[in-house]
């Protein structure tokens, strides 16, 4: 088995924190789940919907509206402040088994580009494993690393780099 | 004390002016050899001169190398174009070591014949002379070949003027939509041509050893795939599109194999693809990141980047696989290594006090030298004659290209008017051919 230690730590961490929902995700699901059929999401919703009557993904008051989590420099560990966000997404995906999500991994611009592709993939995989540990089927999750190729902030400075070191959930 | 002197060579051209790379030498070689390239005489109809000033192209090439200091035509006391017109005293008086003269004659429809001569001024003798047929379209290419001949005659090393660079550009429209292009230009920045255009990222261009193909990574259809494209016809095919990363293609010296990075088995490892047979074999197997393979010129080993030791460093492995040995030890970040054409040196990205710079490592003496001065330098690539390293740098939040001579003494910067330029790769030596 080839897994990096950080990813294992994350799985262990999430398993400890959320022992109740730590059913092991299927390991051999089809990773090629289509990205485009997010429109298949139904209008009945996850718990956080409140009085929201549309697609829960569109509810601005739900944690589901948070789709980006940020990473520390050269790290792929999930920061504790994003655990609730990812857990909410896991809950939504568990309730809506026909919904697929693409997890994008991104890096800041420092260092070489292909190495950053690998770093971005490590970040996407950490999120993937967290969701799987929360019971989401791997067939619902697709990952892609854009490395430093898709920045959202364009300055060559610490503030921009922090914004670009991210994982994004795309429904 | 070495002075930093700026020799701005503005190589702007009317055609496609926005796309042309402008090259300026930001640090020249103290003691560059004084040379005079007399503007070549035109023997045809005065009303229809050749479309390119051949002598000027040659002079600009020689100057860009940093090893020559061409005399301005304004300072010339005479403008000979044939041997019998040369009076060496005119050139000795100006302390010029070498003199280049030439003439261009009509040679059939759309054709030209260029004759040129190179002289040693102090000995008063001809060093070489050629007669070269060409066409309007190939005038610049022929001028670069002449510059190569002059360079080789005077330095003993082959020139790299009649070569190309491939690079990636990125521009955003007013709506913020990105357009990424893979382009090829002559080594002096002229004749830029777009060979791939995409709204999705394009990465890691790699020239085939014969200079006729480029392998690259394209994210079209929202996933990374590796393509091989014929430079002259534009014909292309997808050669790798596995789940996960398909990246960092690198041609074997014989052009039969591509080393590449795949994460299909869970994490990035290096594989060797037989291009014709489409068969794949793993080269590295490790739980860490292994990526950015580059072949040794003898084809017997490869170097690659791995963080198996806790931070990215350069490792070397036999082409048959097996144990990899670490070869970079300076600092905590070394990545994207590639060999010099003679195989004696590596260039790589290194981190020095938080700044990412280009370094060289002499494989025999272990001498490690930081060659660039930027904060975010990356993607170094040797010129095919080993004389220069071209790389990507960032200045004022903008990507541009820069080059440094392998001895570190000459630095130049290549600008593009709009957008970002990155990932330069110098083409191998190959016969000049025009892109269709």
Determine, for residues B397 and A112 on separate chains, whether the beta-carbon distance falls below 8 Å: no
**What are the sequence ranges of the domains in chain B?**
31-155, 164-426
Among B223, B292, B305, the residue with its CB nearest the CB of A144 is: B223
Output the pLDDT for position B229.
97
| Domain annotation covers residue A7 | no
Average pLDDT over residues B402-416: 86
Determine, for residues B333 and A111 on separate chains, whether the beta-carbon distance falls below 8 Å: yes
Contacts 24+ apart (CB under 8 A), A22-26: A22/A133, A22/A134, A22/A135, A23/A135, A24/A132, A24/A133, A25/A131, A25/A132, A25/A133, A25/A134, A25/A135, A25/A136, A25/A137, A25/A138, A26/A132, A26/A137, A26/A138, A26/A139
What angle is formed at CA A17 by the lines to CA A11 and CA A23, rounded to 5 degrees?
Answer: 60
Output the pLDDT for position A17.
39
What band does A35 get if pLDDT is binned at 50, 70 and 90?
very low
Q: How far is B432 from chain A (nearest CA, A)?
A: 30
Contact B125, B145 (CB under 8 A): no
- pLDDT over 90 at B396, yes or no: no
Residue B152: which residues within 8 A CB-CB, separation 6 or more? Answer: B158, B159
| Domain annotation covers residue A135 | yes
CATH number 3.40.50.10070 given to B31-155 = yes
What band does A32 get if pLDDT is binned at 50, 70 and 90?
very low
Contact B239, B275 (CB under 8 A): yes
Determine, for residues B305 and A144 on separate chains, whether the beta-carbon distance falls below 8 Å: no
- What is the pairing mode between strands B33-37 and B98-106? parallel
Determine, for residues B243 and A115 on separate chains, whether the beta-carbon distance falls below 8 Å: no
Output the pLDDT for position B15.
33
- pLDDT over 90 at B4, yes or no: no
Q: Which residues of A touch B (CB under 8 A)?
A: 1-4, 31-32, 35, 102, 109-115, 117-119, 121-122, 143-147, 149-150, 154-156
| Domain annotation covers residue A6 | no
| Domain annotation covers residue A120 | yes
Total domain count for chain A? 1
What band does B430 get if pLDDT is binned at 50, 70 and 90?
low
Residues of A in contact with B265 (CB under 8 A): 2
Q: How many CB atoms lie within 10 A of CB B65?
A: 23
End-to-end CA distance of chain A: 29
Determine, for residues A144 and B222 on separate chains, whether the beta-carbon distance falls below 8 Å: yes
From residue B355, alpha-carbon distances to A73, B298, B350, B381, B422 in Å are: 14, 33, 8, 19, 18
Tell me the per-residue pLDDT of B18-74, one tens digit each, with 9 for 90 and over. Answer: 456 677 777 766 778 999 999 999 999 988 889 889 999 999 999 888 889 999 999
Residue B168: which residues within 8 A CB-CB, separation 6 or more? Answer: B180, B181, B182, B183, B202, B203, B205, B421, B422, B423
The secondary structure of B129-180 as a DSSP string is EEEEEEETTTHHHHHHHHHHHHHHHHHSS---SS-EEEEEEEEE-TT--EEE
Contacts 24+ apart (CB under 8 A), B87-91: B88/B119, B88/B121, B88/B122, B88/B124, B91/B36, B91/B121
Output the pLDDT for position A5.
47
- For the record, the structure tokens of B161 come out as 């003027």
Tell me the per-residue pLDDT of B187-239, one tens digit each, with 9 for 90 and over. Answer: 888 888 999 999 999 999 999 999 999 999 999 988 999 999 999 999 999 99
Residue (of B212, B218, B215, B214) closest to B197 by Cα position:
B218
Contact B25, B6 (CB under 8 A): yes
Q: How far is A106 from chain B (nearest CA, A)?
A: 13
What band does B11 get if pLDDT is binned at 50, 70 and 90?
very low
Determine, for residues B261 and A156 on separate chains, whether the beta-carbon distance falls below 8 Å: no
Among A110, A114, A143, the residue with its CB nearest the CB of B291 is: A114
Output the domain CATH number for residue A164: 3.30.1330.60
Contact B182, B196 (CB under 8 A): yes
Output the pLDDT for position B413.
86
Output the pLDDT for position B410.
85
- pLDDT over 50 at B258, yes or no: yes
Tell me the per-residue pLDDT of A66-76, one tens digit each, with 9 for 90 and over. Answer: 999 999 999 99
* CA B141 to mean position of chain CA atoms: 15
Determine, for residues B423 and A113 on separate chains, whether the beta-carbon distance falls below 8 Å: yes
From residue A95, alpha-carbon distances to A11, A21, A26, A38 in Å are: 21, 13, 16, 14
Output the pLDDT for position B417.
64
The residue ranking higher by pLDDT, B289 or A6, is: B289
Nearest CA in chain A to B350: A111
Residues of A in contact with B224 (CB under 8 A): 117, 144-145
Q: How many CB atoms lie within 10 A of CB A83?
A: 17
Interface test with B, best of A108, A117, A121, A150 (most B CBs within 10 A): A117
Determine, for residues B268 and A118 on separate chains, whether the beta-carbon distance falls below 8 Å: yes
Total CB pairs under 8 A between chain A and B: 97
Determine, for residues B397 and A155 on separate chains, whether the beta-carbon distance falls below 8 Å: yes
Q: Domain of residue A99: give its range.
A: 31-40+55-170
B273, containing H or E segment: strand B269-274
Q: Report d(CA B51, CA B137) in Å as an integer.
A: 9
Which segment of B1-5, B20-24, B397-401 scores lowest on mean pLDDT? B1-5
DSSP B191: S
**Residue whose tokens read 């309730």:** A95
- Domain B164-426: what homologous superfamily? TolB, C-terminal domain (2.120.10.30)
Q: Report the range out of A56-60, B126-130, B188-192 with the highest average pLDDT.
A: B126-130
Q: How far is A63 from chain B (nearest CA, A)?
A: 26
Output the pLDDT for position B414.
82
Tell me the per-residue pLDDT of A107-127, one tens digit each, with 9 for 90 and over. Answer: 999 999 999 999 999 999 999
Output the pLDDT for position B436.
35
Q: Report d(CA B74, CA B78) in Å as an integer.
A: 10
The residue ranking higher by pLDDT, A104 or B432, is: A104
Q: How far is A42 from chain B (nearest CA, A)?
A: 25
Contact B318, B304 (CB under 8 A): no
Output the pLDDT for position B19.
53
Q: Mapping DSSP to helix (H, G, I), strand (E, B) and coil, where does residue B289 land?
A: coil
Q: pTM score, two decimals?
A: 0.85
Residues constituting chain A: 171
Q: How far is A52 from chain B (nearest CA, A)?
A: 32
Tell me the per-residue pLDDT of A88-99, one tens digit each, with 9 for 90 and over. Answer: 999 999 999 999
Nearest CA in chain A to B262: A118
Determine, for residues A3 and B289 on separate chains, whether the beta-carbon distance falls below 8 Å: no
Residues of B in contact with A145 (CB under 8 A): 224, 245
Tell me the per-residue pLDDT of B310-364, one tens digit each, with 9 for 90 and over. Answer: 999 999 999 999 999 999 999 999 999 999 999 999 999 999 999 999 999 999 9
Output the pLDDT for position A30.
36
The residue ranking higher by pLDDT, B10 or A69, is: A69
Determine, for residues B336 and A114 on separate chains, whether the beta-carbon distance falls below 8 Å: yes
Q: Report d(CA A35, CA B219) in Å as an integer.
A: 15
Contact B128, B141 (CB under 8 A): no
**Crossing angle of helices B139-155/B54-64, nearest 10°?**
50
Contact B379, B423 (CB under 8 A): yes
């Amino acid at each position: 088995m080839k897994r990096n230690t950080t990813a294992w730590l994350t799985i262990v961490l999430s398993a400890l924190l959320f022992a109740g929902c730590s059913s092991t995700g299927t390991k051999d699901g089809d990773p090629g789940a289509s990205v485009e059929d997010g429109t298949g999401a139904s209008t009945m919703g996850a718990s956080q919907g409140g009085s929201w009557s549309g697609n829960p993904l569109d509810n601005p008051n739900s944690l589901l509206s948070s789709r980006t989590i940020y990473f520390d420099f050269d790290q792929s560990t999930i920061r504790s402040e994003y655990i609730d966000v990812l857990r909410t997404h896991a809950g939504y995906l568990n309730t809506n088994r026909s919904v697929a999500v693409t997890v994008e991994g991104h890096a800041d611009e420092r260092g070489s580009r292909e190495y950053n592709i690998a770093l971005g993939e490590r970040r996407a995989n950490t999120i993937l494993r967290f969701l799987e540990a929360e019971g989401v089927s791997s067939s619902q999750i697709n990952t892609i690393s854009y490395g430093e190729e898709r920045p959202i902030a364009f300055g060559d400075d610490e503030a921009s780099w922090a914004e670009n070191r991210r994982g994004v959930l795309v429904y | 004390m070495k002075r930093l002197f700026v020799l701005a060579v503005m190589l702007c051209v009317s055609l496609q002016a926005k796309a042309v790379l402008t090259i300026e030498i930001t640090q020249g070689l103290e003691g560059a050899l004084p040379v005079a390239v007399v503007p070549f005489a035109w023997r045809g109809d005065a009303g229809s001169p050749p479309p390119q000033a051949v002598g000027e192209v040659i002079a600009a090439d020689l100057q860009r190398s940093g090893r020559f200091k061409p005399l301005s035509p304004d300072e010339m006391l005479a403008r000979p174009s044939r041997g019998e017109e040369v009076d060496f005293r005119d050139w000795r008086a100006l302390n010029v070591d070498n003199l280049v003269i030439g003439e261009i004659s009509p040679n059939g429809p759309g054709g030209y014949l260029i004759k040129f001569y190179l002289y040693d001024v102090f000995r008063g003798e001809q060093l070489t002379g050629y007669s070269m047929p060409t066409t309007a379209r190939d005038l610049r290419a022929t001028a670069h070949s002449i510059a190569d001949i002059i360079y080789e005659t005077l330095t003993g090393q082959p020139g790299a003027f009649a070569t190309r660079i491939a690079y990636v550009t990125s521009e955003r429209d007013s709506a913020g939509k990105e357009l990424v292009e893979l382009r090829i230009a002559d080594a002096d920045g002229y004749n830029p041509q777009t060979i791939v255009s995409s709204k999705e990222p394009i990465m890691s261009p790699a020239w085939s050893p014969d200079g006729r193909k480029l392998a690259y990574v394209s994210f079209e259809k929202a996933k990374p795939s590796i393509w091989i494209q014929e430079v002259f016809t534009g014909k292309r095919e997808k050669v790798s599109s596995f789940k996960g990363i398909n990246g960092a293609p690198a041609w074997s010296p014989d052009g039969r194999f591509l080393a590449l990075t795949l994460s299909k088995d869970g994490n990035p490892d290096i594989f060797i693809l037989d291009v014709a047979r489409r068969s794949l074999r793993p080269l590295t197997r490790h739980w860490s990141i292994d990526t950015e393979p580059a072949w040794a010129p003898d084809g017997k080993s490869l170097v690659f980047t791995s963080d198996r030791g806790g931070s990215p460093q350069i490792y070397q492995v036999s082409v048959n696989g097996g144990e990899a040995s670490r070869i970079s030890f300076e600092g905590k970040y070394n990545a994207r290594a590639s060999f010099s054409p003679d195989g004696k040196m590596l260039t790589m990205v290194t981190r020095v006090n938080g700044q990412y710079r280009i370094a060289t490592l002499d494989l025999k003496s272990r001498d490690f030298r930081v060659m660039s001065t930027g904060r975010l330098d990356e993607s170094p690539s040797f010129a095919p004659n080993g004389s220069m390293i071209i790389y990507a740098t960032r200045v004022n939040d903008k990507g541009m290209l820069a080059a440094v001579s392998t001895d570190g003494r000459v630095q130049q910067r290549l600008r593009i008017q709009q957008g970002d330029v990155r990932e330069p790769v110098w083409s191998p030596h190959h016969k000049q051919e025009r892109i269709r």
